[in-house]
Structure 1
């Protein structure tokens, strides 16, 4: 089941607009703003990268993004879109500049994920948030506090 915050093809393409050129027409420099069967990667290939990025975000935040507050969905979507864009740039290099852009997109994806995790910690349960470990210990026996 797809997450409600899964980024769209257009959201990913916003980060790498040159990937939305028609690959079937080499002289065509118009940007379509989304992935299609004529782009490289195709829309199906881009969807696979998006699915992997969503899984990576879910793994980093403990398996779920809370529905409230709603800005957490936007942060999760942006983190996944940046991760997918970085992975697409690395997977389909047409020129050296494409590979050179990967570190920038990769760092932006990591920063977005850190912002999401911090926001979830700030909104989470407990004193320090839901992503931090919480320990509980039983009360000591009466003789545990008794000076012998």
Structure 2
């Protein structure tokens, strides 16, 4: 079953727009479709497999489930999966050496997005824990005797 937060073909294409040129376009036509279909490299079906793989990777990082609340977790998961799919597509279909560099940059952005998601999911699951957005204060059980040294 597809996850409701899984990125669309268009959301992945936003990160790698040059991959959305039609191979059936007239010579000299440099327009971008901003999605994947049967005339792009990769095709829509191939890109969808990269998305499914990226979604699986995101789910693996967060113990198999993105909670419904807070809602921003789904947005973070979608962004991480879109970046992962875009990085994998760039690496799988390099036309030039620069595409490998683009893939490396997208890969780093995907790792950073996944780390943000894991931290946010951890904070949402256990408010007040270390790394939470709210401060945690503690006091000693028995206050020490006033002065510089405990006697």
| 120-129 or 102-111, larger mean C-alpha shift | 120-129
1:119-130 pair list within 5 angstroms: 119-125=120-126, 128=129
How large is the RMSD of aligned CA atoms in angstroms? Answer: 1.3
Partner of 1:81: helix, strand, or coil?
helix
Question: Secondary structure at the residue paired with 1:73?
Answer: helix
The correspondence of residues 1-148 of structure 1 with structure 2, limited to 5 A, is: 1-25=1-25, 27-125=28-126, 128=129
Deviates more, 1:94-103 or 1:21-30: 21-30
Between the aligned partners of 1:98 and 1:29, the Cα distance in structure 2 is 18
Deviation at 1:28, TM superposition (A): 2.1
Unaligned runs of 5+ in 2: 131-151
Shift of 1:24: 2.4
Secondary structure, counterpart of 2:112 in structure 1: helix
Within 2, Cα distance between the matches of 1:19 and 1:91? 12
Unaligned runs of 5+ in 1: 130-148
- 1:127 CA drift (Å): 5.0
Supply the distance in 1 between the matched residues of 2:37 and 2:67 (Cα, whole angstroms). 32
- Cα distance, 1:99 vs structure 2: 1.1
CA distance in 1, matches of 2:127, 2:64: 18
TM-score for both structures, normalised by structure 2: 0.82
Q: What is the rounded CA distance, in whole Å, between the counterparts of 1:62 and 1:127 in structure 2?
A: 20
Distance in 2, Cα, partners of 1:125 & 1:118: 11
Q: How far apart are 1:121 and its partner, in Å? A: 1.2
Deviation of 1:90 after TM superposition, in Å, equals 0.2
Q: Secondary structure at the match of 2:126?
A: coil
